[in-house]
A and B are shown apart, each in its own frame.
Chain A
Amino acid sequence: MSDPIIKFDKVVKRFGNFTVLNELDFEVGTGEKVTIIGPSGSGKSTVLRILMTLENINEGVVYVGGEPLWHERKNGALIPASEAHLRKMREQLGMVFQQFNLFPHMTVRRNLTEAPVRVLGLSKSEARNRADELLEMVGLTDQADKFPNQLSGGQQQRVGIARALAMRPKVMLFDEPTSALDPELVGEVLNVIRRLATEHDLTMLLVTHEMQFARQVSDRVCFFDKGRIVEQGVPDQLFTNPREERTREFLKAVLESEA
C-alpha cells in the first residue's frame, strides 16, 4: 500500500458513556477504494463524520495527507485544531450524505456552483462549466434548472455526488448513499459511484449495506464491530472466506435478509 492518505491512530470517540470508536487504528491508501460494513452502532458512519470534521474526537490522532486533522502542530506538540486549520484540511474531503442534504432553496445547478463560487472563488462561468460537466457525468443535464424537491431520491443523490465532486476533493466519503432510497432507485446511484471508482484515481471511503456492490467496487472491505475493525481484506476473501466468527455471523444475517 502506498503512503496512507487517511490514518486513524488509536482514535477514541465517545457519545456520553457510549464508546463509539475504541482505540481505532485504520488506514486508507491514496487512490484506494475502501468499504466499511458492520452492524448499526458499530461506528462506521462516525469514521466518515470525523473525517468531514462534523464530529470531534476524544483521544488519538487522525491524519489526512500526513497532517493531523483535529490537531495542529505547535512547537513539536499537538494542540486542538483552530477553525482555520479545519477549513484548510476540509478542502481535501467531500461527503455524500444518506439524506442527500441538498440545499432545497437552490436549483440543481446552483447547488453545484454555490460553494465553488463562494468558497473556492471560481468565477460564475467557470463554476457553471464545472457544474454542467458534472451534471452530464451523473446524467442530469436536463434537470439543471429544477429544485431538489422536483427530483426523485435517486436523482437527488446523484446531485449530491456531483455537488461534492464540484469542490475537487482528494477523498470522497459516502455515508450510506443508498439507504434512504426506494429499491428501484438504488441502481442508478450505485452506477454513478461505480463509474467514479473505476474511472478516477479518487480515494473513496464508503459505508454501505449493499454487499454485492461493496464486493464489486472495493479494493478492501473492513468489517466494523463495537468501534473496532474486526476483520479486513480483499472483498473476495472477506465475503467468501471470513476468518472471524463475528464476521461470518454478520454476513450470514445480511445475506439471508437480501435473499
Chain B
Amino acid sequence: MEWTSYLPPLLEGAWVTVQLAVYSTVLGAVFAFAAGIGKLSHNRLISGISVVYIEVFRGTSLLVQLFWLYFALPVAGQIIGIDLRLPPVVAGILALALNIGAYGAEVVRGAIQAVSRSQREAARALNFTPRQTLRWILIPQALPEMMPTFGNLAIQNLKDTALVSLISLGDLAFRAEQIRNFTQDSTTIYTIVLFMYFGMALVLTAMMKLLERSVGRWRTAGT
C-alpha cells in the first residue's frame, strides 16, 4: 500500500485532534481563570472549592480522570438515578479541560499576585472596588506574564489529546492505530503521525506568540 493512501484517514483523525485541542484549551482557560481567581477570593467557600479542584486534578493522572468521567461517572449516576452518560467527545474535552485548567489556575493566580503592590495602592487611591481593580488593573497586567506558560500548557494539551483514543474517539492516534492494525506498517504510519503532531504544535506555538504579543502591546510600545 502506498503511504499516501494513509493520509485521508490520518487527516480525518488530525481534524478531530485539532477540534479536541481547541475546545479543551479554551474551556481549560475558563477553568483556569475561574479557579485561579477563586483561589484568591476572600470567600472561604470559593477559595476552598478552587483549591480542592486544583489539587485533585493536578494530583491525579489524566488517564484516570478520563476513564472516571467516561466509565465511572455513568455508573455513579445510575446509583443515584441520574443519567450521567457522556458522549466520548464531551468526556474527552471535559477531562482535558479540567486537567489543563488545574495547572493553568496556578499560573493565573501567580501572575495576578505578581502585579506590584503599588498598582493595587494606586487603584485603591482612585477608589476602584476590589472587583474593578482585578478586572481593569490586575488582570490586564498579569495576562502577558501568563502567556508563555499558557503556550506550554496548550502544547502539552495538544499532545495529551492522544489519550482520548482510549475511549474510542477517532482522533489522530486512534486512526494511526487502526491503520497499523490493518497494514502492520508501523514505521511509515508513526513517522507521518509524528510529523503531523509536530506540525500542529508549530502552528499552535505561532498562534500563542501572536496572542502573547497582542495582550502585551503596551509593554513594547516605544522601544
| Chain A residues with a Cβ under 8 A of chain B | 52-54, 87, 90-91, 93-95, 97, 99, 101-106, 114-115, 118-119, 146-147, 149-150, 163-164, 167
A54-B125, A150-B221, A163-B126 known; 19 other A-B pairs, CB under 8 Å?
A52-B124, A87-B127, A87-B129, A90-B125, A93-B125, A95-B125, A97-B118, A97-B122, A97-B125, A101-B119, A103-B119, A105-B141, A115-B126, A115-B128, A149-B218, A149-B221, A150-B222, A164-B126, A167-B126
Which of B119, B121, B122, B126 has the most chain A CB atoms closer than 10 A to its own CB?
B126
Q: Does B140 contact A (CB under 8 A)?
A: yes
Smallest beta-carbon distance B157→chain A, Å: 27
Interface residues on B, range: 20 to 34
Using A97-B122, A149-B222 as known contacts, say yes or no to A105 and B140 having CB atoms under 8 A apart: yes
| Residues of B close to A95: CB separation below 8 A | 125
CB distance from A94 to the nearest CB of B (A): 7
Query: Which residues in chain B, 124-139, are within 8 Å of chain A measured between CB atoms?
Result: 124-129, 132, 136-137
Minimum CB–CB distance for B24 against chain A, Å: 29
A97 and B121 form a contact (CB under 8 A): yes
Q: Chain B: which residue is nearest A98 at the CB level?
A: B118
Q: How far is the CB of A160 from chain B (nearest CB, A)?
A: 9
- Can you list 18 residue pairs at the A/B interface with Cβ under 8 Å? A52-B124, A90-B124, A90-B125, A91-B127, A95-B125, A97-B118, A97-B121, A101-B119, A103-B119, A105-B140, A106-B218, A118-B132, A118-B136, A119-B126, A119-B128, A119-B132, A147-B218, A149-B222
A114 near B136: Cβ-Cβ < 8 Å: yes
Report the minimum CB–CB distance from B105 to chain A (whole Å): 22
**Total contacts A-B at CB 8 Å:** 66
Residue in B122, B128, B129, B219 whose Cβ sees the most chain A Cβ within 10 Å: B122
Report if A105-B218 is in contact (Cβ < 8 Å); known contacts: A87-B127, A119-B126: yes
**Contact present for A54 and B222 (CB under 8 Å):** no
Chain A positions within 8 Å of B221 at CB level: 146-147, 149-150
CA distance A54 to B218 in the complex (A): 27
**Secondary structure type dominating chain A contacts:** loop
Chain B residues positioned under 8 Å from A106 (CB to CB): 218
Residues of A within 8 A of B136 (CB): 114, 118
CA distance A90 to B121 in the complex (A): 12
Contacts of A149 in B (CB 8 A): 218-219, 221-223
Q: With A and B bound together, what is the CA distance between A97 and B118 in angstroms?
A: 9
Chain A min CB distance to B96 (Å): 31
A99 to B119 CA separation, bound complex (whole angstroms): 10
| A31 → chain B closest CB, angstroms | 21
Cross-chain contact B127 with A167 (CB below 8 angstroms): yes
Q: Which of B188-208 contact A (CB under 8 A)?
A: none
CA distance A149 to B141 in the complex (A): 14
| Cβ–Cβ contact B127 & A99, under 8 A | no
Tell me which of A54, A104, A119, A164 contacts B121 (CB under 8 A): A54
Instruction: Closest A residue to B222 by CB, please name it.
Output: A150
Please measure, in the bound complex, the distance between the C-alpha atom of A115 and the C-alpha atom of B127, giving whole angstroms.
Answer: 8
Chain A contacts for B125, CB-based, 8 A:
52, 54, 90, 93-95, 97, 164
Q: Please report the C-alpha to C-alpha distance between residue A106 and residue B141 in the assembled complex, in whole angstroms.
A: 10
Residues of A within 8 A of B141 (CB): 103-105
Chain A residues within 8 Å of B219, by CB: 104, 149
Interface residues of B in 207-223 (CB under 8 A from A): 218-219, 221-223
Q: How far is the CB of B80 from chain A (nearest CB, A)?
A: 42
Interface centre among B119, B124, B125, B129 (most CB of A within 10 A): B125
In the bound assembly, the distance between CA atoms of A137 and B148 in angstroms comes to: 41
In angstroms, how far is the closest chain A Cβ from the Cβ of B216?
A: 9
Task: Given the known inter-chain contacts A105-B140, A105-B218, A146-B222, please indicate yes or no for A53 contacting B124, CB distance below 8 A.
Answer: yes
B140: nearest chain-A partner, CB-CB: A105
Which residues on B sit within 8 Å (CB–CB) of A94?
125
